[in-house]
Chains A and B, each alone.
Chain A
Amino acid sequence: MNYKMMGRFIGHILLVEAVFMVVPLIISLFHDEDIVCIGFAASLCVILAVALLLLVLCRGSKRSFKAREGLVCVGVSWIVMSLLGCLPFYISREIPSYLDALFETVSGFTTTGASILSEVEELSMSILYWRSFTHWLGGMGVLVFVLAVGAFGERSKGFTVHLLRAESPGPQVGKLVPKMKKTAEILYLIYIALTIVNIAFLLFGGMPLFDAVCTAFGTAGTGGFGIKNDSIAGYSPYIQNVCTVFMLLFGVNFSCYYLLLLRQFYSVLKDEELRLYLGVVIGSIVLITLDVRGFYGTLGETVRHAAFQVASIVTTTGFATTDFDLWPDFSKAVILGLMVIGACAGSTGGGFKCARILIVVRGLRRNLRRAISPQKVQVVRINNHMIDEKVLENANAYLAAYVLILFFSFILVSVDQFSITTNFTAVLSCFNNIGPGLEAVGPTCNYGDFSWLSKLVLIVDMLAGRLEIFPILILFSRSTWGVFNRKSG
């Protein structure tokens, strides 16, 4: 293990975090929020101190980096980032318990949007800003940002792709252009551009600037922290529709946008993952609209609410305009299905990912056919390209890990004596980075009543879900730390 190199990476990431913390500090100064201002200033100092210490200690590191180290590095850096990122909440006493503050921050960085707060509107503006901004930063990934800024730019020799793979969602992560830095740049530029367009559309609908920025952050990262107690329900239908559209847009694979920029419209239209994603979205909207007819005044209103909730869940954002916990059971079942499916690979959304579903389902179909005619040779193809057996194997392993983690977390959370639906949907919701679940963790409720154990489990689940399981899972593996095989260090 190249610990020095990892230290440097984490140092850089913390520097980025510190830089971004300056904005809420200024907001708090501007609004004379004394105690919060001190909180941000103190946190900033701590983070800067740790970052500089790491950078000084880890000078002159070797620049060799393997796939395993990439995974470990990503896992560790997200944990450190969250541990320090929650300091403003804690120091400013806006969230008195450190565990709660950590839960809130992890929920932010992993773009989950699960909150332990019942009264969001009581928080000060700078804290609300920081809370929403963690979504935006976590959505595309901090490491990708570090790569885009080029902290390791010219001197890095190809190893950085391990980091991108470990942090970006999806079964197959490739570069868009030959240079890693350029790829990261393109991703972030698309991300920033879409966010700005989103803010503009929200402002056009008469939303105050601060609300628009925070809501856009929540949408872009497919996070779901609202700045109002009733999430988006209080805003006008126009704003709700804008949110629906942009949530769906942020759930699309970003390489599709890049292809659009290159004017390769045909290959975007033919993209099978995109087709599945849109098919799922439209199908669910139709089904739910039929199921909940009569709940709302007009057909238009019904479709609007159905579309918003479907977009919010399938992209794993977690905003709400209505309490879907009150919907009939069939609609709730559809919502549960959407929670698992998730958005496209290569987007800011979470979940199992449409691409992986395609791969797993086609692999399953292939294996079924193989059982019928064992001699027949069949390959799994997506977008007219053969899927490598290794990718197929990985997707199946991912499914196994996914189900196991879901199951064990569910058992652990069940210690708290809530109903089965609550426990299950809480785990499902956190693991898939959505936010709201059903019953006691429904759209109108929060996670504040869970015990410390459950909160810890859910924190791990959120991180595992955001980083696609393996970077977190590998941290628990003894061989990673060379306990059995000291020579590997």
Chain B
Amino acid sequence: MKIIIAGDGKVGAILTRQLSAEGYDLTLIDANLKVLESTEERYDIMAVQGNCASMEVLEQAGIREADLLIAVTNADEVNLLCCMTAHGMNPDIHTIARIRNPEYTEQIYKMQNLFALSMMINPERQAALEIERLLKYPGFLKRDTFAKGRVEIVELRVEAGHKLCNIALNDLYNIVKCKILVCTVIRNGKAVAPGGNFVLMEGDRIFVTAPANVLTMLLKNLGIITHKVKRVILCGGGRVSYYLAQSLIKNGIGVQIVEQDYDRCIHLANALPHASVIHGDASREFLLDNEGISDCDALVTLTGVDEMNIIISLYGSSCKVPQIITKLGRLENNTILDSLPIGSIISPKELSCNHIVRYVRAMENQTGAALTIHTIADGQAEAVEFMVDKDTLHCGEPLKKLKLKKNVLIVCIMHGMKLDIPNGDSCFEYGDTVIVVTGAGRVVYQLNDIFE
């Protein structure tokens, strides 16, 4: 499949890495020659220098044979124009545009029809949705949804003195009283695929597959107190903040936004009359103290500077804020961050890349290919959702008889509306949906790839 990526910024770079690794024909368009050269050196791609909205440049990039155009330059209008032009030159092409301006968000569906876009992505809005989902269940560090929201893989940290401490996975059911499956454990920064005798220890981060309807019970039985979030402090008043505050307020949650730029404060105060907007530097401790950080329910750090976010989150952690969410632009230093108590980590760019990759994979092969893919365990594992079709091998055979590749685990089987957290006797049939967790570096494109 031929894919053109317009804009070689941060998102463009992550997409290039991901998609070229999966073997697609990539063409990259950017105005900056230097950036293109360095990308060309690292990956097996074609690079075209120029304005991605100009017909000549698109022609050069081979728009007429391309199957997909992903416009991720930093200007919304350029992205839109690029997609429209491309669509005019090649009516069969799929187009994805990144649109970030909140003023366009309300008209997003109309625009999608108007400009014949296949998909529009808004990284900040997605990040806000993700954060909102996390705030709904304080206690989980991360949540990934599958099967249209019916199954989730959630991340938990095993704290000292926790009920889960020193428990073997075989005995887990006695504590949580519901069917769940631990699919990956991160111990000392390394992902481990645990067996039944694996004993959990303090400091482990575990990834649990569970039906969405047992999440509350799970938290309750684990003894994690989940009082409803009533007041949230947002540090930084950028776009993520705006979207997040908007939906939190709609749910009746009190929001305080700390922002440094006065004009931005005025803008926010006008756009969000029910939020309390504070003008000041969020990295000053006394300011956060004044705003009552010690008794707020959650702290979300959303400034544009990663270091600042980490520092504020650390301060929040020292003030015993129950839930902390940190936004990071770069995820390269994850191993160091793992040891810091900065709560959940959200990266808008990573989120939107995952979104696009998912679309690409679904586009390539409607049957047999992955329906959804989520990167979990700091990128050391992937959870992939597949549809079982007529070409799938081993239908109807119990799982204990199958020989799966190393580090591959089937964590959930859905027969129509029935949800099954599988054990050795379970089997999948034609028409089922299965969720597979695979270890690091092993990309699974087809369900049949998991068998030896």
Contact residues of A with B, CB < 8 Å? Answer: 373, 375-379, 381, 386
Contact = CB atoms under 8 A, between A and B. Distances in A.
Nearest to B265: A377
Contact of B270 (A373, A375, A376, A379): A379
Contact of B279 (A376, A381, A386): A376
Contacts of A375: 278-280, 287, 290-291
B118 to A, nearest CB: 35
Contacts of A386: 266, 270
A377 B273 contact: no
A-B pairs with lowest CB-CB distance, top 4: A377-B265, A386-B270, A377-B277, A379-B269
B104 interface: no
A384 to B, nearest CB: 8
Most buried by B among A373, A376, A386: A376
A375 B278 CA distance: 5
Contacts of B269: 377-379
Contacts of A379: 266, 269-270, 273
A373 B269 CA distance: 14
B148 to A, nearest CB: 36
Given A375-B278, A375-B279, A377-B266, 12 more contacts: A373-B290, A376-B276, A376-B277, A376-B279, A377-B259, A377-B262, A377-B265, A377-B277, A377-B278, A378-B277, A381-B270, A386-B270
A282 B144 CA distance: 56
A373 B270 CA distance: 18
Contacts of A377: 259, 262, 265-266, 268-269, 277-279
B238 to A, nearest CB: 15
B368 to A, nearest CB: 51
Nearest to B262: A377
Contacts of B277: 376-378
A359 to B, nearest CB: 15
A381 B278 contact: no
Contacts of B259: 377
Nearest to A387: B270
Nearest to B270: A386
Nearest to A386: B270
Interface string B270-311: 100100111110000001001100000000000000000000
A7 B152 CA distance: 80
A386 B259 CA distance: 19
B270 to A, nearest CB: 4
A376 B290 CA distance: 11
A379 B277 CA distance: 10
A375 B291 CA distance: 10
Nearest to A381: B273
Interface in B205-264: 259, 262
Contacts of B276: 373, 376
Contacts of A373: 276, 278, 290
A381 B267 CA distance: 12
A379 B264 CA distance: 12
Contacts of A381: 270, 273
A393 B276 CA distance: 23
Contacts of A376: 276-279
A205 B262 CA distance: 61
Most buried by A among B259, B269, B280, B291: B269
Contacts of B268: 377
A377 to B, nearest CB: 4
Interface string B120-154: 00000000000000000000000000000000000
Nearest to A377: B265
A386 B263 CA distance: 13
Nearest to B237: A377
A321 B177 CA distance: 80
6 contacts: A373-B290, A377-B266, A377-B268, A377-B279, A379-B266, A386-B266
Contacts of B273: 379, 381
A356 B287 CA distance: 35
Most buried by A among B270, B277, B279, B280: B270
A381 B259 CA distance: 20
A4 to B, nearest CB: 43
A2 B11 CA distance: 61
A381 B269 CA distance: 10
Nearest to A378: B269
Nearest to B256: A376
A373 B256 CA distance: 12
Contacts of B270: 379, 381, 386
Nearest to B258: A375
A369 B280 CA distance: 17
Nearest to B291: A375
A84 to B, nearest CB: 48
A376 B273 CA distance: 12
Contacts of B287: 375
A397 B290 CA distance: 34
Most buried by B among A373, A375, A386: A375
A373 B277 CA distance: 11
A375 B270 CA distance: 16
A376 B277 CA distance: 6
A381 to B, nearest CB: 6
A52 B276 CA distance: 62
Nearest to B280: A375
Contacts of A378: 269, 277
Contacts of B278: 373, 375-377
A375 B276 CA distance: 10
Most buried by B among A373, A377, A379: A377
Nearest to A385: B270
A285 B287 CA distance: 49
A373 B280 CA distance: 12
Contacts of B291: 375
A392 B268 CA distance: 19
A376 B276 CA distance: 7
A305 to B, nearest CB: 41
Nearest to B259: A377
A390 to B, nearest CB: 13
B190 to A, nearest CB: 44
A254 B199 CA distance: 77
A218 to B, nearest CB: 42
A373 B276 CA distance: 10
B271 to A, nearest CB: 9
Nearest to A374: B279
B25 to A, nearest CB: 50
A375 to B, nearest CB: 5
Most buried by A among B259, B262, B266, B268: B266
Interface in B144-179: none
A379 B272 CA distance: 10
A263 B287 CA distance: 49
A463 to B, nearest CB: 37
Contacts of B262: 377
Interface string B387-426: 0000000000000000000000000000000000000000
Interface in B24-82: none
A125 B259 CA distance: 69
Nearest to A369: B276
